[in-house]
Amino acid sequence: MTTIPGALDGGAAPRCPECGFQIFNRRYPKCESCGALLPETIVYSPAERHALRVAEEERALESARHESSAVDATPASLDDALVSAMMGLTQP
Ligand SMILES: [Zn+2]
């Protein structure tokens, strides 16, 4: 039994009503196993898919920004904290 991180959406994955295939990609309107059209309760609506895509793009931009800023910001502030801690320890 393998678990796929991210696929567990707070519960079991929905299944195709035609063949019982587990639906992991809820953005695809058809069953990936038998090709049956999936009910709207399983797949995301076009509006939801659009919102997801926008959110994902924003998240990607955000994490890229965080990574680049973390590289030059975090070590410096860590060093400062260490230096002031050392100073406090070595002072009589
Ligand atoms: Zn199916």
Structure confidence by residue, pLDDT tens digits, 13-32: 899 999 999 998 888 889 99
pLDDT at 79: 74
Q: Rounded mean pLDDT of the chain?
A: 80
- List the one residue out of 33, 36, 37 whose CA is nearest residue 22: 33
Rounded Cα–Cα distance for residues 35 and 37 (Å): 6
Compute, in angstroms, the gap from residue 36 CA to the centroid of ligand 1: 5
HSE (side-chain half, CA atoms, 13 Å) at 42: 22
Residues with CB under 5 A from ligand 1 (ion): 16, 18-19, 21, 31, 33-34, 36
pTM of the model: 0.44
